[in-house]
Structure 1
Amino acid sequence: MTPYDEELRAAGLDPDAVRAQVLEALAEDLPGGDVTSEATIAADARGVGVFAAREAGVVAGLGVAALVFHEVMGDTVTVSDRLPDGTHVEPGDVVMRVAGPTRGLLTAERTALNYASHLSGVATATSHWVDALAGTDARVLDTRKTLPTYRALQKYAVRCGGGVNHRFSLSDRAMVKDNHVVAAGGVVPAYEAVRTAYPDLRVEVEVTDLDQLRELLAVGCTEILLDNMDSPTMAEAVRITAGRATLEASGGLTIERAREVAETGVDFISVGALTHSVKVFDLGLDLSEG
């Protein structure tokens, strides 16, 4: 148990899984202790670390960063002035303060920043897409293109940025993609095979042209992904569908096209770049004597 279990659980995260990941991350840095801090800093020295934003954006992962400090220093560390994840910040805004043994603060610093900077980058990137879609009915979705073992945290950060989560795994929802279609002999045989095997599971099918769309609508498919279509074709897909299925646009989309795509009338826009190639958010920690 940690002081952050309830908070993590409320955020839709598994506290035990997050703690295990934090401990693994710390183990990378500490196979033999922090030799530099132990050599240069007195054992009884105390300090205050101030986390501040160095650019505008949305913060996420501050609770995970706080957990890192707790795992290094236990009850000797105090966390204060922590902003809620999902908060929009400007350069210079203080997002969290940590006070405790100086050695421990510097030992935990990089691991804590790695989590908070990366997850804030995901949240910030998501918020840019949300802003681009403002005033339309389309929502931005993440994908399974996440860093291995980081999926729950990255998808949490997407939620902090105002986005919507797609499926978490290969078993909580079926997604029939082009290779499944080839293997099954068509979009309808693939769809019907999944419906037969898993009648209670949600099924989404990827289509590459309007003929496939019409075939799926005729057999009652209610979730369809429009893959790599141009905007006029997507608009025609929306017209043909006429509300009978939700439509997700995907494939090579850029934020510059976001509004154009949303105005075709699609329900969702899925963006792998939210998680697979996101730029880290610039957070810094400045230390002062406590």
Structure 2
Amino acid sequence: MQDYINQESLQKFLQASFLEDIGEGDHTTLAAVPAGQLGSANLLIKEAGVIAGLELAKTIFHYHDPDLQVRLFLKDGQSVKAGDIGLLVSGKAASILTTERLVLNCMQRMSGIATKTKELNDLIAHTGAKLLDTRKTTPNFRMLEKWAVAIGGGKNHRFALYDMIMLKDNHIDFAGGISKAIKSTHAYLKKKGLHLKIEIETRSLEEVQEVLDTGGVDIIMLDNMDPQTMEKAVKMIAGQYDTEASGGIDETNIVSVAESGVDYISVGALTHQVKSMDISLKALRKHPQTAS
């Protein structure tokens, strides 16, 4: 798991998710299924891609009912095809039914993100560029979306506003320019006793030069530049700072962007324009016995 995935963060996510979905009770299951009925269900993969969220699914099942037995047949990050079985869950039928939708909602979206991440990563594997995610995530679901990017082979950029300085175009404009934004940032960090990396966005070669003249950053973002301009910027920077390409990057242009020589490529579409994988939970023939 990533360092932002811990027992406390998962606990908060699961509490909020079950409160949203169950509320005062799963009345359909309570009404139709005998309280002690036992059962089993398979997680059925219905299309090709990269599976993600199996470990989370196990956590969800056990959080709701520690007596559920979960057997994983695949590992997060594995390539899958239609017809593959991801896991088998057995125990009280009511517990399986009540947890089904949360498990599927998480796994379908996470697997879609992991699949997209691997697809883009494969396209740039011949270069030295690393694929990054962004903060363009679903509110209260960022933790799992970034986890899915990591499972798909991408790298996580800053998690939130508190763990890195990123001076974007609006920050620069409101601050009064690149030099003022950088100098104000250093003064703030010194006053607060903070040690955070500083990244700054540039929109032209002229702005790249202004950053080089000012100094005091860790990463220079090359935003919405064509690959030829990016290549010129990379040569100007000459390894003094890491470089990140950003803005409108997808499968149609990511190869040429990576071949420009940038260190990182951030793609918001990894988390905000993905198609969820088709996965379902299928009940097996019900058990004749009931739980004691």
Same-fold call, TM cutoff 0.5:
yes
Q: 1:79·1:97 contact (CA, 8 Å) conserved in 2?
A: yes
Instruction: Tell me how far 1:84 sits from its aligned partner.
Output: 2.2
* Amino acid in the other structure paired with 2:282: D
| Contact 1:248-1:269 at 8 Å conserved across structures | yes
Are the counterparts in 2 of residues 54 and 90 from structure 1 also a CA contact under 8 Å? Answer: yes
Shift of 1:82: 4.3
**Once the 2 structures are TM-superposed, how far is the Cα of residue 114 of structure 1 from its aligned partner?**
0.7
1:281 maps to 277
Tell me which residue corresponds to 1:138: 129
Aligned residue for 1:98, secondary structure, equals strand
Tell me which of 263, 266, 270 is aligned to 2:262.
266
**Which residue of 1 is the match for residue 290 of structure 2?**
none
SS of residue in 2 equivalent to 1:256:
coil
Q: Is the 8 A contact 1:195 1:203 kept in 2?
A: no
Distance 2:3 2:100 in 1: 23
Structure 2 gap segments, 5+ residues each:
288-292
* Pair 1:196-2:192 in alignment: no
Distance between the aligned counterparts of 1:211 and 1:118, measured in 2? 40
Instruction: Report how far residue 222 of structure 1 moved.
Output: 3.5
Which residue does 2:201 correspond to in 1? 206
Would you say how many aligned residue pairs link Structure 1 and Structure 2?
281
Secondary structure of the corresponding residue to residue 262 of structure 2: coil
Paired position in structure 2 for 1:93: 84
For the residues of structure 2 that align with 1:271 and 1:92, how far apart are their CA atoms? 31
Hey, what's the Cα distance between the residues in 1 that align with 2:95 and 2:58? 12
Give deviations 1:18-39, integer Å, cap 9, x for gaps.
1221122122222232222223
Structure 1 match to 2:153? 162
Which residue of structure 2 lines up, in the alignment, with residue 243 of structure 1? 239
Say if 1:11 and 1:175 are closer, same or farther in 2 by CA, change over 3 A: closer
Report Cα offsets for 1:112-156 as digits up to 9, x if no partner.
Answer: 111111111111111111111111111110011111122222111
Within the alignment, does 1:218 sit opposite 2:213 as a pair? yes
Q: State whether residues 11 and 156 of structure 1, in contact with CA within 8 Å, keep that contact through their aligned partners in structure 2.
A: no
Which runs of 5 or more residues in structure 1 are unaligned?
1-7
The whole-number CA distance in structure 2 between the counterparts of 1:161 and 1:213 is: 32
Q: Per-residue deviation at 1:12?
A: 4.5
Q: Whole-Å Cα distance in 2 between the matches of residues 175 and 278 of structure 1?
A: 25
Distance (whole Å) between structure 1 residues aligned to residue 59 and residue 239 of structure 2: 45
Contact 1:138-1:262 within 8 A present in 2 as well = yes
Q: Is 1:63 paired with 2:55?
A: yes
Q: CA deviation at 1:207?
A: 0.5
Percentage of pairs with the same residue: 41
Given residue 286 of structure 1, which amino acid in structure 2 is its aligned partner?
K
Q: Which moved more, 1:65-74 or 1:121-130?
A: 65-74
SS of structure 1 residue aligned to 2:156:
coil
1:218-262 per-position Cα deviation (integer Å, ceiling 9, x unaligned)? 233341001111111111111211212111111111111110111
Task: Measure, in 2, the Cα distance between the counterparts of 1:222 and 1:173.
Answer: 11
CA RMSD of aligned residues (A): 1.6
Q: Which amino acid aligns with 2:128?
A: D
Per the TM alignment, residue 99 of structure 1 is displaced from its structure 2 partner at its CA by 0.4
Please report how far the alpha carbon of residue 50 of structure 1 lies from its aligned counterpart in structure 2 after TM superposition: 0.5
Where do 4+ consecutive residues of structure 1 move more than 3 Å? Answer: none
Distance, in Å, in 1 between the alignment partners of 2:90 and 2:236 is 60
The answer to whether residue 168 in structure 2 is matched with residue 177 in structure 1 is yes
Partner Cα separation in structure 1 for residue 196 and residue 8 of structure 2: 28
